[in-house]
Amino acid sequence: MNTRIKTNGLTIALIMGLLLMGSMYGEETPQELAVKEAINSLLGQVPYEMTTFKVKFADTVTSENRDDWVNKIVTAYSVPGLNQEAPDILVAGLLTDDASIPIEKIDEYVNLIDSLIDPGDSIVEVQYESPTAGLFTTAAVVNEENRVEFEALLFFTPDPWPLEVKTDEELLTSTAFTHKDDKTGVEIHCASIPNMLMLTSAAAGLSAFSTSCSRKWTVSTISNRIQGKCAEFSITATADCDGGDCNGAISECTGTCGAHNNCALLETTCKISKETIAGNCCRVRVNFAYAYGFKSISVGKDGVTLSVTGILGTGGTWSNTLNVCCSK
């Protein structure tokens, strides 16, 4: 649990004066150093370029100016824009300049910033220069323990960036497991190899019965650099086997955004786009999409094609194919 030292107005004014004096004489404040360290760490891990950035202590939050700072961060400071399909391109802009952003997302952003600012926190301005985004300024919120609670580039750049979408080979490891079949009550021994889920059984003659084996795979996890894990995509696939043939695959994909989502302004969608039977294997194609910040997910007329629209924030789409196979 975080504890905060109670300070009166005079104490806050004195602290603010000392911080400003340190900044004036060229000494970086602890708050500036904390923001600088966090941004340097980010820039060492992402593919987009930054020509330069500067940090400058701006203010100490008080009970009197807190609401003003919430409003200012939302309306007067920039938000970055990133795209999974072109991860080296960075853009930035003010929310007030993009009329296409739904008012509901602006309200969510106001609530987010409001939840992160307390009297005693510090505001540090960050001035960036990027080859693709040009000059833009964000505001960082630093708490009394000198931990960065918010800064737009840190907040809207997922960790890692670009998102590491696992390949088919990585999805299925060579781990053996046992499943008790719901239809027969018999334990089925299963083993997954790259891109295949094979079903076998130690029980003689079991192939004469209809059997199934189900397993869930994590496809990718979306994390925020400040708040940690946000959401997880997963596929659950079940092969319906009869005499070694695959009668069909029951499958679903999920994104764990919701009750245990600890990142604001994040939405996820996934759709089963195709299920086909090829001999003893069922092939499942899955489409995924996420929108983080002020982007939105659109579903095509076919009900399975996904796209991400919008400029500010981040987002992306991808697909994966799984072969769920029955043992001959």
pLDDT digits (tens, 9 = 90+) for 157-191: 999 999 887 766 556 555 566 667 676 776 666 65
Give the 3-state secondary structure of residue 37: helix
Burial class from Cβ neighbours inside 10 Å (0-12, 13-18, 19+) for residue 96 reads: exposed
pLDDT of residue 202: 47
The Cα–Cα gap between 141 and 101 comes to: 24
pTM for the full model? 0.79
Say if CB 257 and CB 230 are below 8 A apart: yes
* Residue 9 DSSP one-character state: H
Given a cut of 70, the residues of the chain with pLDDT beneath it are: 1-26, 167-179, 181, 183, 186-215, 243-244, 250, 256-262, 326-328
Say if CB 290 and CB 316 are below 8 A apart: yes
Q: Which two tokens stand for residue 188?
A: 């089925």
Closest to 320 measured CA to CA, from 167, 115, 153: 167
- Return the beta strands (E) in 61-209 as ranges: 79-81, 91-93, 122-130, 134-142, 148-150, 176-180, 187-193, 196-200
Residue 257 sits at φ, ψ, to 5 deg, of -85, 135
Kindly state the helix (H) or strand (E) to which residue 316 belongs, with its residue range.
strand 313-325
pLDDT of residue 32: 98
pLDDT of residue 158: 93
Q: Mean of the per-residue pLDDT values for the chain?
A: 81
Q: Which two tokens stand for residue 58?
A: 């701006």
pLDDT of residue 144: 96
Say if CB 30 and CB 63 are below 8 A apart: no
